[in-house]
Structure 1
Amino acid sequence: MRSAVTGTAVILAVGALVTAAMTTATASASPPAGPAKADPPRPVLVDCTWHKNVRPADFILACGDGNSRLIGLHWSQWGPHGATATGVNMVNDCDPYCAAGRFHAYPVTVRLDGPKPWKKDPSVEHYTRMSLTYTGARPDAFKAVMIYPLWD
């Protein structure tokens, strides 16, 4: 009986060694894993107070007086080549003057592009241009597509 136990132990030991050898051979035959490829950094949208934003829900266009702002932004794309959203441009009619004016809602498609290093932090890219395409009515004296340079 002792030889049967010894034989079983030897068979199990040999099996374990063979399995270990095969695992090592398979692992060494695989190409070495390289460093994980990081996603490229996404550009940001810099707001009036110099904060970096990604996919903001709202954005003030007229920093001095707040008479034009984007609200309800829904972003369908945000990447290294541009960003696209739909939302509403709230514009003050300034009638008879801005403090007494009323805000009106105009549906728009927003497009951001022209990412470049941000002067405040060159390790961060920021979008440098915004295009608003009015999909319906638009404010008096506005074109169907308005292009705005964004601050640096």
Structure 2
Amino acid sequence: MRGSLTGTAITLAAGALLTTAMTTASASPAATTPKAAPPRPVLVDCQWQRDIRPADFILACGDGNSRLAGLHWKHWGSQGAKAVGVNWVNDCKPYCAAGTFRPYPVTVRLDRPQPWQKDPNVQHFTRMSLTYAGARPDGFQRVVTYPLWN
């Protein structure tokens, strides 16, 4: 009988401890987990590869006569991105195959994120603006805006 009482006492004590623990846990405020930040939009290149903060980017996919290089990203957020770098442009003189690539310092801005056609769960920037700091290629405005492919 003594063993039976000891077993009952242990069971009751364990039950009381469990009840106390559950009551304390349910009385305390629920732990909140921080919400995950929305995924940042990507920049899609000529080969349909997506990237965030690329160091280089080809603007003229067909012939490669205009590209961005040495990009240093100051900001990359859900609504836009900003970098400084160099736009290397072929002057195509006397013709493109014999032309010279010339460097032009630029500020690059990306905006208008939208779902990417290839993967609608991914946001990608759909517009790029280049602002030339000084000299610029012949025929270019100080600010040039390009729609980006989908």
Unaligned regions of 5+ residues in structure 1, if any? 1-20
Runs of 4+ in 1 over 6 A off after TM superposition: none
Is residue 81 from structure 1 mapped to residue 79 from structure 2 by the alignment? yes
Unaligned regions of 5+ residues in structure 2, if any? 1-19
The more displaced of 111-120 and 33-42 is 33-42
Shift of 1:104: 0.3
Amino acid at match of 2:130: L
Is residue 111 from structure 1 mapped to residue 109 from structure 2 by the alignment? yes
Distance in 1 between residues matched to 2:34 and 2:136, nearest whole Å: 47
Shift of 1:36: 3.6
Using the size of structure 2 for normalisation, the TM-score is 0.83
Is residue 39 from structure 1 mapped to residue 37 from structure 2 by the alignment? yes
- Partner residue of 1:49? 47
Distance in 1 between residues matched to 2:142 and 2:66, nearest whole Å: 16
User: Any idea what SS the aligned residue of 1:136 has?
Assistant: coil
User: Any idea what SS the aligned residue of 1:115 has?
Assistant: strand
Distance in 1 between residues matched to 2:101 and 2:138, nearest whole Å: 13
Using the size of structure 1 for normalisation, the TM-score is 0.82
Distance in 2 between residues matched to 1:31 and 1:60, nearest whole Å: 53
Distance in 1 between residues matched to 2:28 and 2:126, nearest whole Å: 45
The CA RMSD measured in Å over matched residues stands at: 1.9
Q: Deviations over 1:97-121 (max 9, x none)?
A: 0000000000000000000000000
User: Any idea what SS the aligned residue of 2:97 has?
Assistant: helix
Distance in 1 between residues matched to 2:27 and 2:67, nearest whole Å: 59
Shift of 1:31: 1.7
User: Any idea what SS the aligned residue of 1:114 has?
Assistant: strand
- Partner residue of 2:6? none
Total equivalences in the alignment: 133
Shift of 1:28: 4.1
Is residue 151 from structure 1 mapped to residue 149 from structure 2 by the alignment? yes
Is residue 140 from structure 1 mapped to residue 148 from structure 2 by the alignment? no
Distance in 1 between residues matched to 2:140 and 2:35, nearest whole Å: 44
Q: Deviations over 1:77-99 (max 9, x none)?
A: 10111000000000000000000
Amino acid at match of 1:101: G
